[in-house]
Chain A
Amino acid sequence: MNKITTRARSLIIQKIRDFFVQNDFLEVETPIMTPIPGMEPHLTPFETTLTPPAISQLSSATKIPMYLNTSPELQMKKLLGSPEGFDKIFNITKVFRNGEMDGPLHNTEFTMLEWYRKNADYKDLMNDCENLVTFLICKILPREANQSVNTQTTDNLTVNGQTQNYSILSQVTKSLSYQSSTINLATPWPRFTTNELFIKYCDLDLLENQDFATFKKTIDEKASSHTVPSSSASPFPFDSSGCATWDDLYFKIFLNYIEPELAKINQPIFIYDYPSSQAALAKRSADNTFFAERFELYIKGIELANAFSELTDSKEQRARLEEEQNLRKQLDKTVFPIDEEFLTALDKIATPTSGIALGLDRLIMLLLDKKSIEEVLLFPMNNLTSLANTLAQR
């Protein structure tokens, strides 16, 4: 990452803060290290140990496990449920996911932008996403963006040495140039339910395949007739091998036959109403409880944000956390205690509430037309082999 990109990144983050402050959100800071991290079965937090101070009542042999947050979600909801009356909050914070550092879209430590609002459902957050990206495009990228996005930005950054003086750039750009394609940003952005995508691209209705055995049978039948989805990027027919759960089947199909199609769409898209097995902290859909009110925002096949209408029923939340504890046990992962403070806070949230997590580094990649996350980080952890060799030499 060069100095120009560094400045552009700094400017984008500054404008993100402007956007939320102008929309009456309060910026909050949450701990990076926590005694009880999120329970997502497939995420692996970094683990460390807190040593009690010598004067503490605790014996010095007492070891308190601590974890680096994989998301500030639990703390954000504790704030929403606190008597202070936080109702619109945002947070720009570092999060950590152990084992995730392969490829152009992952760095094991990355920056998350989360925002939460009361009296809002997940569709309100879709509007927030459209407004945020449009705001950033207006503030940061000039109208000439289609030809030379970064040149213009750079000139202004370099010449003025200032970042606030962007009045000449205020004309609305309705498109973004990314890796030789033009992304049309005109709102509203297309919205598809997960089931619409499975039907459209794979001729598979999730509602007819709600349990593992049925879903696997359907896929195996397609496999035995060598059915390849016609629009697919992969030439291989459907195949259930390696899949032990309903979600494995879902993702194997999604990643092979749906996500590549999404990458061809030159517009940001919202995918919504996820199977509730993939939305442990989300409210179930009023129309069909098989689905939950969760959405993801994709731009050029890149997963940018993940949002929920928050589940605020602490009883149901406890049951789902217990399910996830079991799943973690089965997967041989560290099992965390249930965060009682979090459940207590949920009960205090009296109005419908929604929250979203957006990968800030990925958004910056898109805005600055960078191919990989390491190009927008000053200290990417991209060369594990050389790191391992260096340490081995000590």
Chain B
Amino acid sequence: MSSTTDLKQGLTILHKGNPWLIAVAQFVNPGKGSAFTRAKLRQLKTGQVVEHTFKSGEAVELVDVVRNKCQYLYNDGETYNFMDNENYEQFGLDKELIGDAVKYLIENTECYAMYIDGIPVSIQVPPKMAFKVISAPPGYKGDTATGGSKDATIETGATIKVPLFISEGDIIMVNTAEGNYVSKG
């Protein structure tokens, strides 16, 4: 097992005995203080999502995670089924283990399967993904009660806040870690 002092999005660390995937890592500089890193972490065995702030430069242990390309197939209620594109084996994961990524899955979505000690523990979707907007109410000029944005539904059924100029049928890029609109694709 190796260690790092550089906490970055996408790393999996061993913290207090459990593997945690760093979903988001942000720099924090508290006033007159030295640098810290605020991370949003997902526990890979339970799906629990927490925030924790690390001292920048604090050594953390890295978990060896094997990542294979995989493809989302279908879900039967609470279980989401995938196929590993390297060994063609199928596996199922509980919805909780997939976390927010569940919002970005449609049939045949390509993502990464994460294995710890040979066991599939979770999947990761690409940091940015393109989706077709299937419904977006027309925006009214001057309507900024919603901060100049409106809700649009993408093809997975998830709702994303988008600028007023986005309409049905547009392709948009979504930041899957933050769950927000990036650009019109």
Residues of A within 8 A of B (CB): 2, 4-5, 40-42, 97, 99-103, 106, 147-151, 153-155, 158, 233-237, 241-243, 245, 247-248, 250-252, 254-256, 260, 278-280, 296, 303, 306, 331, 368-371, 375
Contact = CB atoms under 8 A, between A and B. Distances in A.
B-side binding surface: helix, strand, loop or mixed? Answer: loop
Interface in B11-29: 15-16, 26-29
B108 interface: no
A309 to B, nearest CB: 16
B90 interface: no
B18 to A, nearest CB: 10
Interface string B74-116: 0000000000000000000000000000000000000000000
Contact of A103 (B28, B35, B57): B28
Given A40-B32, A103-B26, A106-B27, A369 B58 contact: no
B57 A242 contact: yes
A243 B147 contact: no
A155 B142 contact: yes
Contact of A236 (B16, B30, B36, B143): B16
A376 to B, nearest CB: 11
A248 B56 CA distance: 10
A5 B30 contact: no
Contacts of A102: 26-27
Nearest to B146: A150
Interface in B49-73: 50-59
A243 B29 contact: no
Nearest to A102: B27
For the complex of A and B, 4 pairs with smallest distance between CB atoms? A242-B58, A242-B55, A102-B27, A150-B144
Given A255-B38, A256-B53, A369-B147, A280 B30 contact: no
B22 to A, nearest CB: 14
5 contacts: A99-B35, A103-B28, A236-B50, A242-B54, A331-B34
Contacts, number: 108
A151 B143 contact: yes
With a 10 A CB-CB cut-off, give which of B27, B32, B38, B143 has the most chain A CB atoms: B32
A192 to B, nearest CB: 16
B1 interface: no
Nearest to A257: B53
A370 B147 contact: yes
Contact of B50 (A151, A153, A234, A248): A234
A241 B144 contact: no
Contacts of A106: 27, 29
Given A4-B142, A242-B54, A255-B38, A150 B147 contact: yes
Contacts of A368: 147
Contacts of B33: 42, 247-248, 250-251, 278
Interface residues of B, number: 31
B5 to A, nearest CB: 8
B148 interface: yes
B72 to A, nearest CB: 27
Given A5-B144, A245-B34, A251-B30, 7 more contacts: A4-B144, A5-B148, A234-B52, A235-B50, A241-B58, A242-B59, A370-B147
A235 B52 CA distance: 8
B143 to A, nearest CB: 6
Contacts of A154: 142-144
B27 A100 contact: yes
Contacts of A242: 54-59
B51 A42 contact: no
A241 B32 contact: no
B55 A233 contact: no
Nearest to A278: B32
A320 to B, nearest CB: 12
A42 B27 contact: no
B148 to A, nearest CB: 5
A254 B32 CA distance: 13
B118 interface: no
B34 A241 contact: no
Contacts of B53: 234, 252, 255-256
A256 B58 contact: no
Given A154-B142, A252-B55, A306 B31 contact: yes
A371 B50 CA distance: 20
B32 A279 contact: yes
Nearest to B140: A151
Contacts of A41: 32, 34
A296 B59 CA distance: 31
A148 B36 contact: no
A241 B55 contact: yes
Contacts of A280: 32
Contacts of A4: 142, 144, 148
A154 B147 CA distance: 11
A255 B36 contact: yes
Contacts of B15: 236
